[in-house]
């Protein structure tokens, strides 16, 4: 599957991402929104993964954020928290 190299946002989408980037209390949401805005500004997802987020990320991670956003909008950013304590519930 070819990787997407850009993201086109309308003004409403851009403002929504800016709001979440600046105001959301969850660090992962702010980081993902910042990465998506940089991609929309013309940076490649690979470059954003290397130096455009809080810490270097695997490029596949940033491509996943992009795919989630394209498929689900802001819900894709908010609903796919990764990492953290993985507990097994019985």
Across the range 48-56, mean pLDDT stands at 88
Extents of the domains making up the chain: 11-78
- CB burial readout 23-33, b (16+ within 10 A) else e: ebeeebbbbbb
Of the segments 12-21, 48-57, 58-67, which one has the largest average pLDDT value?
A: 12-21
Percent of the chain with pLDDT over 90: 74
Beta strands in 1-90, from DSSP E residues, in sequence order: none
State the pLDDT confidence band at 54, using cuts at 50, 70 and 90. confident
């Amino acid at each position: 599957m070819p990787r997407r190299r850009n993201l086109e946002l309308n003004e409403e989408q851009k403002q929504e991402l800016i709001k979440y980037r600046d105001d959301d209390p969850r660090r992962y949401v702010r980081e993902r929104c910042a990465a998506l805005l940089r991609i929309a500004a013309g940076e490649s997802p690979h470059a954003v993964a290397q130096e455009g987020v809080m810490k270097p990320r695997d490029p596949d991670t940033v491509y996943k954020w992009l795919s989630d956003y394209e498929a689900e909008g802001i819900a894709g950013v908010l609903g796919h928290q990764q990492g953290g304590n993985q507990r097994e519930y019985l």
